[in-house]
Amino acid sequence: ENRLKPAAGPKSVLQVLNSSLNRRQNITMGASALPIIIFSAIFGVIGIVLPIVAPKGPNRGIVQCVLILTAATCWLFWLCCYMAQMNPLIGPKLHQNTILIMAREWGNPLPDMDGYHPEH
């Protein structure tokens, strides 16, 4: 069966670097359960246990409300920051020379760029 293949255009330096890195190591990012469990437990203690043991007094209801709201908002803020790091929307903007030097120094020479020498 003869299928037409799309014409392969010139690859950018980033595409070559990414393919070179992915061949040598498996780069994965994701959430680890341990930090989520630890921080949920910390904020759970602040928002659930501390309001129960709040000292009796005229402002006990306010103290309980403050503790619950503090724990909930801090936990939500931490969770959003943690999740934003798993799949960043914006990556570093590197100059082509920087990419080539990084590839060479990290032992990932770029096969398509053998004759290229970075400018200073």
What is the per-residue pLDDT across 87-115, written as a single tens digit (0 to 9) for each?
777 877 888 888 888 888 888 877 666 56
In the chain, the number of structural domains is 1
90 assigned to some structural domain: no
46 assigned to some structural domain: yes
109 assigned to some structural domain: no
Q: Is 84 exposed, middle or buried (0-12, 13-18, 19+ CB in 10 A)?
A: exposed
Tokens 């799309």 identify what position?
Answer: 6
What is the average pLDDT value for the chain, to the nearest integer?
Answer: 80
Domain that holds residue 39: 32-84
Instruction: Give the side-chain half-sphere CA count within 13 A for 92.
Output: 6
110 assigned to some structural domain: no
4 assigned to some structural domain: no
What is the rounded distance in angstroms from the CA atom of residue 63 to the CA atom of residue 70? 10
Residue 22: count other Cβ atoms within 10 Å of its Cβ.
10
Residue 107: count other Cβ atoms within 10 Å of its Cβ.
7
- The residue that leads in pLDDT, 27 or 14, is 14
3 assigned to some structural domain: no
